[in-house]
Structure 1
Amino acid sequence: MSELDALFRKRIGFSESEQISFDTLNHVLEKTARTIPFENLRIIQNRTTAITRENLIEKILARGEGGLCYELNPLLYLFLVEHGFDAVLALGVVYKHDEQRFQSIGSTHVTILCTYEGQMYVIDTGFGGNLPLMPVPLSGETVSSANGEFRIRKVDTEHGDYALEMKLRHKDTDWRVGYAFNSTRTITDVEACDAVRTIIEQHPESPFNKHPLITKLTDRGSVTLTNRSITQWTDGQVTKENIESARFNELVEQHFGNSFVRIDDTLSR
């Protein structure tokens, strides 16, 4: 068993004796979503590192932090490849529903494409609270998980040839686009994702370089924390509390653990 395999299993609480197969991917994805947060704290702290296999293992598995899509999905991709999966990384463009348009900063969402028994699937553990928690086939078939319904639709746009669509449980009544992606332009070297990291860190329209954000799914819903509020979904009921930024570190430790370096109050306003 490699270091990555052992540490990944330990981080998400997956037994070393249990086989990793396509049939067990649902369990892997559920455990990953509930243990590894989607967060941008190192960006806010100006202490990021290049995307490499070694740095991903150190940050997320050894230190117990989380990450954004260009960290979470490349790490899962490496784990899957070690277990013999036919997987690659692909780039997508996130859709902004409040503005009814795709993001203008380009293809900055990193996802995974996995081929199994002649069928290609999207596998994604880096899309915040919008995670399918299971492979989603490019055939258009709808899949259902504890987080809602998901499907892939064939499209013909400048942003890609397929789009992930979703109806999140307790949140959506109609289908909405998550992101479009290009299935023909793929990546096998995680270090290529460093270009995405640079855009997310530096672009003035990046949604992740201005305020701290940390979120993960829970057994009963989700919890999302910013320097301004904490939002919790529990059994379909939502509570939102406005907070002073000085409480941010306290709430990070309470809901996400003590693996994260404390955010300076002056950086989180």
Structure 2
Amino acid sequence: MSGFDLDLYLDRLGIDPVPVTAQGLARLQSAQIRRIPFEDIDPFLGIAPGVGSEQVTDKILHRGRGGYCFEQNRLFQDALQALGFDVTRRLARVRKGAAQGGARTHLLLICRIEGTDYLADAGFGGPTPLEPLPLRMDTPQEATNGSYILRDDPETGERVLFLRNLGEEFALYGFDDAHVSDSDIEAGNFLCTHWPQAPFPHHLMVKGYDGDTPLGLMDRQVNEAGEKRLLTSAEALHHALCVRLGLVLPDATVQAVWDRITTLENAP
């Protein structure tokens, strides 16, 4: 990407430039997931975030925000290309354990290194693998934060990513090799912010790290390393978002998020 501020990106991640290797890709993906929280604050407040390179760079690198998949993986793609990686985009259908997915509303990346394709994804949130996974089918693969496996689905023609836990497999999303244009991404972004069946306008969803501790929010519920509790005030929400996860948010934005959470909870 011409004009991408790689130094600013690496500064946000707290790392030096990485080599164009599988190890370099893994270091970059892990650092972005750990340092730039997944968050859907804009869609939750009825705002369609910009998903172009300049808009994403301004929001995440200049204004200290996070973002959801269309923003996170746009930033990740731009950084990878600036470093010299061979990267393409794919759209996925989120499954959340279901046999099939819905609309194509998740953006991911495929990175080719020395003839091997890797699933590279810094924008799924939740149980996303911290490191990229080689596109090897039916072979369990270990990431720092869990065990995963990719399987072909003959009914949909998709490769499906599963999280493995205690012998059970939970389908995360499925994707194919269809070309993805900027218009596809803009349409998916619009769908995620306006479609009544999309989760983002109805729920605050945040996932990040406080140091090495994973921290997630679903509305007012905090999940910290597997222990759950409820936030009881806008001040507590501010502490979780801005102090623990490091997001830069005006007080008015945090209050607006809290007000929307309580309004939806009290809706008939």
Is TM more than 0.5 here? yes
Offset at residue 186 of structure 1 (A): 2.5
Offset at residue 40 of structure 1 (A): 0.5
* Map of 1:164 onto structure 2: 161
Q: Which segment drifts farther, 127-136 or 33-42?
A: 127-136
2:169 alignment partner, one of 157, 175, 193: 175
After superposing on structure 2, the runs of 4+ consecutive aligned residues of structure 1 that deviate more than 6 Å are none
2:149 is the alignment partner of 1:148? no
Q: Output the CA distance in 2 between the equivalents of 1:42 and 1:259.
A: 13
Counterpart secondary structure, 1:210: coil
Q: Output the CA distance in 2 between the equivalents of 1:82 and 1:94.
A: 29
CA, structure 1 residues 217+144, in 2 after alignment: closer, same or farther (shift >3 Å)?
farther
Offset at residue 203 of structure 1 (A): 0.9
- The 5 Å alignment of 1:1-269 reads 2-16=3-17, 18-97=18-97, 100-104=98-102, 106-140=103-137, 141-158=139-156, 160-167=157-164, 173-183=167-177, 185-187=178-180, 189-190=181-182, 192-233=184-225, 238-246=226-234, 247-261=236-250, 262-263=253-254, 264=256, 265-269=258-262
Task: Give 1:254's aligned amino acid.
Answer: V
Q: Is the 8 A contact 1:74 1:190 kept in 2?
A: no
Question: Which of the pair is proportionally richer in strand?
Answer: 1
CA, structure 1 residues 173+142, in 2 after alignment: closer, same or farther (shift >3 Å)?
closer
CA, structure 1 residues 66+58, in 2 after alignment: closer, same or farther (shift >3 Å)?
same
Q: Output the CA distance in 2 between the equivalents of 1:250 and 1:218.
A: 12
How many residues get paired?
255
Task: Give 2:189's aligned amino acid.
Answer: R
Q: Percent identical across equivalent pairs?
A: 24
Q: Output the CA distance in 1 between the equivalents of 2:52 and 2:86.
A: 20
Q: Is the 8 A contact 1:137 1:151 kept in 2?
A: no
Counterpart secondary structure, 2:12: helix
CA, structure 1 residues 132+52, in 2 after alignment: closer, same or farther (shift >3 Å)?
same
- TM norm structure 2: 0.86
Q: Is the 8 A contact 1:142 1:149 kept in 2?
A: yes
Q: Is the 8 A contact 1:133 1:145 kept in 2?
A: yes
Q: Output the CA distance in 2 between the equivalents of 1:52 and 1:130.
A: 26
- TM norm structure 1: 0.86
Q: Output the CA distance in 1 between the equivalents of 2:167 and 2:212.
A: 20
Offset at residue 155 of structure 1 (A): 2.0
Q: Which segment drifts farther, 106-115 or 141-150?
A: 141-150
Offset at residue 101 of structure 1 (A): 4.2
* Map of 2:265 onto structure 1: none
Q: Output the CA distance in 1 between the equivalents of 2:233 and 2:160.
A: 36
CA, structure 1 residues 60+190, in 2 after alignment: closer, same or farther (shift >3 Å)?
farther
Deviations 1:119-160 (A, max 9, x none): 2221111111222222212222432121111222222233x4
Q: Is the 8 A contact 1:11 1:61 kept in 2?
A: yes
Task: Give 1:241's aligned amino acid.
Answer: R
Q: Is the 8 A contact 2:47 2:193 kept in 1?
A: no
Q: Is the 8 A contact 1:138 1:153 kept in 2?
A: no
Q: Which segment drifts farther, 26-35 or 250-259?
A: 250-259
Unaligned 5+ segments in structure 2 are: 263-268
Counterpart secondary structure, 1:32: helix
Q: Output the CA distance in 2 between the equivalents of 1:46 and 1:5.
A: 31
